[in-house]
Copies of this chain bind each other. A is one copy, B any other.
Amino acid sequence: MTNWEADDATATYVADVAEYWERGGFSHAAGQILGHLMVCEPAEQTQAELAEALGLSAGTVSTQLKILLAVEMVERVRSRGVRTSFYQVPKNMWTRVLASETSRIGGLRGLADQGLKVLPQTRPDRIVSLDQMVRFFEHEWPQLEERLEEFLRKEES
């Protein structure tokens, strides 16, 4: 109860970000960390600062950060001469998140291939439409990523 959040607006923001990502499968604590790192000052925070700001235990912060680091939505920053690590939202976070979508498409590719081998007599479209959808995205997704990069380049002006 020392310094929960700078002000009400950012506190609300942290809660909203947490709620959004909770639906995406993250824990509430992970969502809070993400939300805080979106708006905190400075942008780089230690585990102790995160725990303090959000009222979480050291263990929770450690565990949830590990998850966020694994999906590359947070990165660790270490500077020479300082014993403590800092954590921050990486510069190109969204590009990374989008890239990870490729592996999810890969999962569906597996289900489509397997499905074609057990293709049902009636309504084979149940499998075929999945295969079509996957083929479509295997073709489109790389292009979309390229267009995103181009879009971001143009925004820098």
Contact = CB atoms under 8 A, between A and B. Distances in A.
A9 B107 contact: no
Interface stretch (A39-47, A49-57, A64-72): A39-47
B120 A39 contact: yes
B118 A10 contact: yes
A114 interface: yes
Nearest to A123: B43
A6 B151 CA distance: 50
User: How big is chain A's contact interface, by range?
Assistant: 35 or more
A129 interface: yes
Contacts of A20: 107-108, 111
Interface in A100-151: 107-108, 110-111, 114-115, 117-118, 120-123, 125-127, 129-130, 132-133, 136, 140, 144, 147-148, 151
Given A38-B126, A126-B38, A140 B147 contact: yes
B16 A114 contact: yes
Contacts of A10: 118
Interface of A: 9-10, 12-13, 16-17, 20, 25, 37-43, 88-89, 91-94, 98, 107-108, 110-111, 114-115, 117-118, 120-123, 125-127, 129-130, 132-133, 136, 140, 144, 147-148, 151-152, 155
